[in-house]
Amino acid sequence: MQAFRRLQILLRRLFLRNKNSELDEELAFHLDRQIEANVVAGMGQTEARRQAMIAFGGVERTRGECREQRPGFWIERLAQDVRYALRGFRRNPTFTLTILVTLMLGIGATAAVFSVVDRILFRSLPYSHADRLVSVGLVQSLEAQEFMLGGFYYDWRRNQTPFESMTSETAVTRECDLTEGSPAQMSCPTVEVNFLPTLGITPVAGRNFLPEEGMPGAPRVALISYGLWLRHYNRDPRILNRTIEIDDKPVRVVGVLPKDFEMPRLQAADVVFPMTMDEAADRRSNEGIGGPKRVFARLKPGVSVEQAYAQLVPLFQQTQKWIPAEIRSNFRLKVRSLRDRQMQDVRLTAWVLLGTVIAVLLIACANVASLLMARGASRQRELAVRSALGASRGRLVSQALTEAALLSLAGALAGCVLAKGLLQAFVALAPANVPYISRVQLDARIVCFTVMLSFVCGVLFGLVPALQQPREEMLTGRTLASVSRAGLRQWLVVAQIAASVVLLTAAALMLRSFWGLEHQQLGMREDNTVTASITLGPRNYSSGASKMAFFQQLATRLRFGPGVQVVSVSDSLPPGNGHGAVRFGEILVDGRPRSMEGGGTVVTMRSISPEYFRALDIPVVRGEGFRDEDLNSSDRVVVLSQRLAEMLFPAGDSIGKLVNFDHVDFPKSPTWYRVVGVAANVKNGGLSGEQTPEYYLLRRNRADDWVGRGVWGQTSMVVVRSSLPSEETAKWIRLQVAALDPTLPVDIATLRQRVSKLADQPRFQASLVGFFAAIGLLLAVIGLYGVIAFLVAQRTQEIGMRMALGARRTDILQLVMARSMRLIAAGVAAGLVAALASSRVLASLLFGVGPRDPVTFALVPLLLVAIGLAATAIPARLASRVDPAVALRSE
């Protein structure tokens, strides 16, 4: 009731402004009664009025105070302040626009980047107490992501002490098909029954797996994802306990996963199956080492990752005894937080981006502060006048606050628009391995944060002039106060320039690194080459014979294409890794003892057709390489890369020697290969990776050679070198694949495109950092320009005097430029020190360029000096054109 009444009064106040006349009448009545009283007391009419007036005091002031009692008064005052501020902005459009653009760039860039990195660096994972979740397992040179095998996992699970619970999923997430209704291909992880409880996930409908559902012979059940429930079953609650058909087999749905559920390795999950825990069978599987697993665990409260590691060491030592002696030393224990496991090396990129954008934000803030201070200095007289006319300190402050708020609000609005656009660009640019990138949205909290920051920045520096007691002399002329504040502004400019030196250095290093990456010698020729990645469905092409038949037919068909010169089929392509790999210590040369030396070095393997070296134009430097006769021979032959040949046969006598690669797994009957050639080195560890020793096996006309293992087994890469344009060749490949099997998906790209895709992440980093460095530089230049222009404007009179006394234009030009040069030099020097100190962080992101690359560190300062001087040239020239007669009269 009370509130309603207040609102009523407020509204009446705002819309009916006739109260003033009522107040006047009330006051007049009071005065008249006083006069009457005075007359009654015996004064004359005139004297009575005079005395009454004196006793009454100032009417205007009472009026004002009565008005201020109104509930809605602050709105009136705010509206007044806003009107005043807007008028001020309109009067000075350059100032307003500069501040707005600065804020827009600062807020936009920060909000966009924060939205991307927030998930990576700060936001908690969608599991309960996610900070206690870890990924645990062994790593070795062939597999850098921790894994466990069925052969020892069960012992760990039984005997571990640091974890509340331990759980696993199968290392490979298989594809499965929904074979009812509208069929769909899906991703179907298989997890232990305690997987979801360990992560702290509760289904939104139904239940988690029961322990007995992980027993051998249990009925087939599954949990489905929220997305699948929505898309396929229209969120029908009757899905629970319904039987659906997956891969032609019935499965009962027992629950629906939460909307924001994600697997700890972030792979897609449409249907989740319980893992059948048959320990004995698992230990026997996979040639006696047990099925590979990814293991996750929840730490007991108060146990750190390091403590967990220490407590697991005895178990690890036990497991080491079980690993064959030749490769034992290659295995290490790894325990790390789930977040680290998920983000991998993206974390560093995220930090670098964050650092970059914070530098930009600081530069922007410095600009805003500097501009507001300049404005404050030029408004001192105005403030003094307002203060003399009776404006209280509070009013001046609230006026300054209003202006700061208006500016930051408008800047924030523009910044949000920019951030939206930037985010879209990021998502388009980002390589696939940046987690969550496709789901990134502009975060409201982050927008708030940046708006607050810019507001604080504006208030802080907008308030300085308002808080100073305006002095009377300001009414008459100018003082040195404004000049002293220009000193602070100069420091700001120095800081800005220093920050942009750091930014530019980082950007230049990353751009140079990216350039080197793109233009390095790969050891093969990428022109006129079209590649097709073809994955055969596991249902129709399970046997080696069927795969061989398909690819051989395809190769034959492709060879007859117009302009086709060579066609090759291989399991993988450089500069990517081969899919198979051994450790160097596992390679045995006939007639030599086993050597344990340098055993851990990874040697990668490719299965290829004889045309491979010609298709990629890799020279065979020794021996003959694979011949067509080898295809039908029962002999097994191998081609070594030059690097591997030098390691195995330092004397250069490799041709004709017998080697084997599997004596660790099959010590009794290893498979021997005869070396028939040595091929030149090819980049094969990714674009930025080290040169890996490599060997090539021939896929002969035998079904066994085509049996691939694991996820990659169904995929082969076809390379077609042709004299026709790549679009034509691509069309031809598509046509021929469709003729053999119209249902097969084909991924066609030129070899150059595939190589360039590998550079996605460096490109992303380099372009982003480069972009922000450019923004930072732009803002710093604006700041420098502003300060110099302000100084020139302040010294107009002095310059006029100097010219009147005989200074030439060049002298004035020199005077201004020297001032600016001092600022630039100080900024560049400070920036170089900071850049030298901080660029080491980038080291692991750089390729072929040191973090202290002398070229970069020489060019960046030069660039900054040049740009800085250019920015100064405009005000300097203006100063040199000052007409002494006008300048001297100006005040």
- Based on the shown chain and the rule CB under 8 A, indicate whether residue 47 belongs to the binding site for other proteins: no
The residue (of 76 and 180) whose beta carbon lies closer to other proteins is 76
Q: How far is the CB of 386 from other proteins (least distance, A)?
A: 24
810 binds other proteins (CB under 8 A): no
565 binds other proteins (CB under 8 A): no
How many residues sit close enough to other proteins to count as binding (CB under 8 A)?
Answer: 27
Nearest to 530 by CA among 561, 486, 488: 561
118 DSSP 8-state letter: I
471 near other proteins, rule: CB under 8 A: no
Name the segment binding other proteins (CB under 8 A); options: 52-60, 340-348, 778-786, 855-863: 52-60
Torsion angle (degrees, nearest 10) of CA 575, 581, 587, 589? -50
CB of 57 to other proteins, least distance (A): 5
Question: For residue 178, what are the CA distances in angstroms to 192, 420, 564, 660?
Answer: 22, 37, 40, 43
Helices (H), 92-212: 93-117, 150-159, 195-199
Name which of 68 and 690 has its Cβ closer to other proteins.
68
Identify the sign of the CA torsion 842, 847, 851, 857: negative
**From residue 499 to residue 528, what is the string marking binding to other proteins with x (rule CB under 8 A)?**
------------------------------
Binding segment for other proteins (CB under 8 A), chosen from 2-10, 107-115, 322-330, 762-770, is: 2-10
9 binds other proteins (CB under 8 A): yes
State in angstroms the smallest separation of the CB of 83 from other proteins.
25
Smaller CB separation from other proteins, 395 or 752: 395
Query: Taking CB under 8 A as the rule, which mask of x and - marks residues 607-636 in contact with other proteins?
Result: ------------------------------
Compute the Cα dihedral for 123, 127, 133, 134 and give only its sign.
Answer: negative
Contact 797, 891 (CB under 8 A): yes
Q: How far apart are CA 627 and CA 635, in angstroms?
A: 12
Shortest distance (Å) from residue 26 CB to other proteins: 5
> What character string, x for contact with other proteins (CB under 8 A) and - otherwise, covers 521-560?
----------------------------------------
- Contact status: 58 vs other proteins (CB under 8 A): yes
Going by their DSSP bridges, the two strands 564-570 and 694-698 should be labelled as unpaired
The residue type of 511 is L
Query: Is position 17 an interface residue for other proteins (rule: CB under 8 A)?
Result: no
Minimum CB distance to other proteins smaller for 36 or for 131: 36
Residue 793 near residue 863 (C-beta atoms within 8 A): no
Q: Smallest distance from the beta carbon of 359 to other proteins, in angstroms?
A: 51
Say if CB 429 and CB 341 are below 8 A apart: no
C-beta separation of 464 from 373 below 8 A: yes
Amino acid code (one letter) for 585: G
- Residue 425's alpha-carbon distances to 25, 101, 434, 435, 437, in angstroms, are 66, 20, 14, 16, 11
Which residues are paired to 136 by β-bridges? Answer: 295, 335
| Integer Cα distance of 683 and 256 in angstroms | 46
Rounded to a whole number of angstroms, the minimum distance from the CB of residue 13 to other proteins is 9
Selected binder of other proteins within 7, 17, 30, 425 (CB under 8 A): 30
Residue 222 phi, psi dihedral angles, 5° rounding: -160, 155
Sole binder of other proteins in the list 11, 17, 20, 29 (CB under 8 A): 29
Cβ proximity to other proteins: between 27 and 836 the closer is: 27
Residue from 5, 90, 668, 709 that binds other proteins (CB under 8 A)? 5
Q: How far is the CB of 466 from other proteins (least distance, A)?
A: 27
Q: Which residues pair with 721 in a beta bridge?
A: 529, 566
Return d(Cα 12, Cα 201) in angstroms, integer.
56
User: Which part of the chain contacts other proteins (CB under 8 A), choosing from 18-26, 250-258, 663-671, 877-885?
Assistant: 18-26
189 within 8 A of 269, measured Cβ to Cβ: yes
DSSP, res 599: T
Of residues 16, 18, 22, 519, which one binds other proteins by CB under 8 A? 22
Residues 747-786 that bind other proteins (CB under 8 A): none
C-beta of 19 vs 83, nearer to other proteins: 19
Eight-class DSSP state of 692: P
Distance (Å, whole) CA 763 – CA 93: 38
Between CA 91 and CA 886 the distance in angstroms is: 23
Does residue 49 belong to the site contacting other proteins (CB under 8 A)?
no
Q: What SS3 state is found at 503? A: helix
> Of 408, 391, 381, 363, nearest to 465 (Cα)?
381
Q: Which is nearer to other proteins, 67 or 174 (CB)?
A: 67
**56-64, 318-326, 483-491, 868-876 -> range binding other proteins (CB under 8 A):** 56-64
User: Binder to other proteins among 14, 39, 49, 56 (CB under 8 A)?
Assistant: 56
CA-to-CA distance for 103 and 411, rounded, in angstroms?
A: 5
Other Cβ atoms less than 10 A from the Cβ of 286: the count is 13
Residue from 11, 24, 33, 833 binding other proteins (CB under 8 A): 33
What track of x and - describes contact with other proteins for positions 63 through 102 (by CB under 8 A)? --xx-xxxx-------------------------------
User: Pairing mode, if any, of strands 580-583 and 715-722?
Assistant: unpaired
Specify the residue, 33 or 332, whose C-beta has the smaller distance to other proteins: 33
* Binding of other proteins by 55 (CB under 8 A): yes
Pairing between strand 672-679 and 620-623? Answer: antiparallel
Q: Does 6 bind other proteins (CB under 8 A)?
A: yes
Residue count of the chain, please give it.
891
Residue 199 corresponds to which tokens in the numbers above? 């992560």
| Ramachandran bin of 234, using left for φ above 0, alpha for ψ from -120 to 50, beta for the remaining angles | left
Q: Is residue 567 helix, strand or coil? A: strand
Measured distance CA(227)–CA(257) in Å, rounded: 9
Is residue 57 a contact point for other proteins (CB under 8 A)?
yes
Nearer to other proteins, 22 or 248 (CB): 22
Q: Contact region for other proteins (CB under 8 A) — 17-25, 264-272, 712-720, 829-837?
A: 17-25
Which range binds other proteins by CB under 8 A, 20-28, 565-573, 724-732, 750-758? Answer: 20-28
Closest contact distance (angstroms) between CB of 66 and other proteins is 5
> Toward other proteins, which CB reaches closer, 66 or 303?
66
The one among 25, 131, 164, 527 contacting other proteins by CB under 8 A: 25
List interacting residues with other proteins (CB under 8 A): 2, 5-6, 9, 22-23, 25-27, 29-30, 32-34, 36, 55-58, 61-62, 65-66, 68-71
